[in-house]
Structures are given as C-alpha cells and as structure tokens.
C-alpha cells in the first residue's frame, strides 16, 4: 500500500468545509455522512473537519445535517445482543464468560454488552429476566387459557423462537436427550430443539412438547418419520 501523508487543511475556511460536507451528503442522498464516506467522496479529510468543529456531529449541525439520527439507527438493539448471547451460550453449553465473547463464537464483544447495559453482569441478568418472561407464556397451562379453536388448528406457531429454544436447552442441561452429548465437552456437537410430537402431526410448540437433540440424533429422528 502506498504511504500517504494525511492531508491537512489548516487554512481552509470553515465555510468551505461545511459546503463540502453538504455536497457529500447530496451526492449520497443522505442527511448524514460517515467519516469513511467523506474521505471517499468529499474533498476534505473527515478527521480534520471534525477537529475544526469540535466533533463530527457538530460539523453536521453546522451543515444542517443530522448525524445523531444515523448513530441511533446503527446502535445495536437489546434484542440483537440477547440473541447473540443465546447463540454463544447454547454453542458453549454453559454461561459465557467475557473471554468467550470473540468471533467467530460471538458477534459482539463483552465491551459491547458493558456499553449497552452498564456492566457485563447486568447484561447477563437482563438477558435471563428477558428469557424468564417467555417461560410463563409457553407452558401448556397458559395455552389452555387461550380461546379453544377447532381441533385441526394449532394453538401455537411452529417456529421455536430463540427465547424458547434457550429455555428448553437450559432445562435439558445443554445435552442431547438421546445420546447425552454436549458442546460443553465436545465442540463438534450442535444442539437443536425439536418437537417431540411433530408439529405436522398436531404437536404444539410448548415446553412440554419440546426437547434438545444433537444434529446427529435429530437427523436420525426425522428419517424415522
Ligand atoms: Zn444426540
């Protein structure tokens, strides 16, 4: 890669910076410009501009653009962090520690959880609370309270959402119910949650009708059906 000195625009008037930022936004048809986009499509260097205005968002304010909205839209949601936590937890077969939160196992770092929830532990606590709220809604007893529908119709959806999947795996100690293998002791093991009585045969998506199987046993099972 060619070595290049960073362009310094010490003598460029602020109005030129602002005009250039606006111009870049117009080119992109956006009401914000990222650093990368400015450096690719703009005339002036983004860091230089940010320095001059006391921050990139402030440069946007001056140009009548809105960087805050963009930042908000890219901010990762609670649900994304929870789903990632669920994936890491079930792949490990036990509660993750901060050192587990690296790719390819984890999409988000422990730092992302700290930033979002305050502390790592707080993130875990809120995750578990979130999971527990699903448990009450997914037992047969609560299903019975629902309006009775014709016998041919299901009371539940076929899809096993990630919260329910986690509850079942945790209940089954992250072990295959058939062969007992677990990702905690064998990294090649991939666990699935499956309907005991097939959904197609009238089985419901409830705690009582779901079980944890490894991919091998799961395939064996569907062959028999
Ligand atoms: Zn198995």
Whether residue 57 contacts residue 69, with contact meaning beta carbons closer than 8 Å, is answered with no
| Cα dihedral 192, 194, 200, 204 sign | negative
Average pLDDT of every residue of the chain: 86
Find the 211 Cα to ligand 1 centroid distance in Å.
Answer: 11
Task: State the total domains in the chain.
Answer: 2
Are residues 132 and 60 part of one domain?
Answer: no
Distance 140 CA to ligand 1 centre (A): 26
Range of the domain at 127: 78-144+154-224
Output the CA 212–ligand 1 centroid distance in Å. 9
Q: Is residue 5 part of a domain?
A: no
> Is there a single domain that holds both residue 67 and residue 160?
no
CA of 213 to the centre of ligand 1 (A): 5
Predicted local confidence at residue 223, as pLDDT: 47
Q: Is 136 in the same domain as 31? A: no
- Say whether pLDDT at 144 is over 70: no
Residues 23 and 121 in one domain: no
- Give the 3-state secondary structure of residue 211: strand
Instruction: Please give the distance, rounded to the nearest whole angstrom, from the Cα atom of residue 25 to the centre of ligand 1.
Output: 55
Same domain? For 199 and 91 the reply is: yes
Confidence of residue 1 (pLDDT cuts 50, 70, 90): very low
126: left (phi over 0), alpha (psi -120 to 50) or beta: alpha
- The pLDDT score that the predictor gives to residue 11 is 82
Q: Which of 40, 74, 108 is the last residue of a domain?
A: 74
Enter the pTM of the model: 0.61
Distance 106 CA to ligand 1 centre (A): 24
């Amino acid at each position: 890669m060619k070595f290049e000195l960073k362009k310094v625009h010490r003598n460029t008037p602020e109005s030129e910076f602002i005009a250039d930022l606006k111009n870049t936004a117009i080119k992109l048809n956006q009401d914000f410009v990222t650093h990368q986009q400015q450096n690719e499509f703009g005339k002036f260097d983004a860091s230089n501009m940010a320095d001059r205005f006391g921050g990139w968002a402030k440069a946007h304010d001056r140009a009548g653009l809105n960087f805050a909205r963009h930042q908000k839209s890219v901010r990762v949601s609670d649900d994304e962090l929870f789903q990632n936590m669920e994936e890491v937890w079930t792949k490990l077969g036990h509660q993750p520690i901060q050192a587990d939160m690296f790719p390819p196992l984890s999409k988000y770092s422990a730092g992302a959880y700290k930033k979002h929830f305050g502390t790592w532990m707080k993130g875990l606590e809120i995750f578990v609370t979130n999971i527990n709220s699903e448990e009450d809604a997914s037992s047969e007893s609560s299903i019975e309270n629902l309006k009775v529908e014709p016998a041919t119709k299901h009371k539940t959806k076929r899809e096993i959402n990630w919260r329910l999947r986690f509850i079942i795996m945790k209940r089954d100690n992250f072990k295959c119910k058939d062969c007992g293998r677990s990702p905690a002791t064998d990294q090649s093991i991939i666990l699935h949650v499956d309907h005991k009585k097939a959904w197609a045969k009238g089985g419901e998506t409830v705690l009582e009708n779901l079980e944890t199987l490894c991919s091998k046993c799961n395939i064996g099972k569907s062959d028999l059906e």
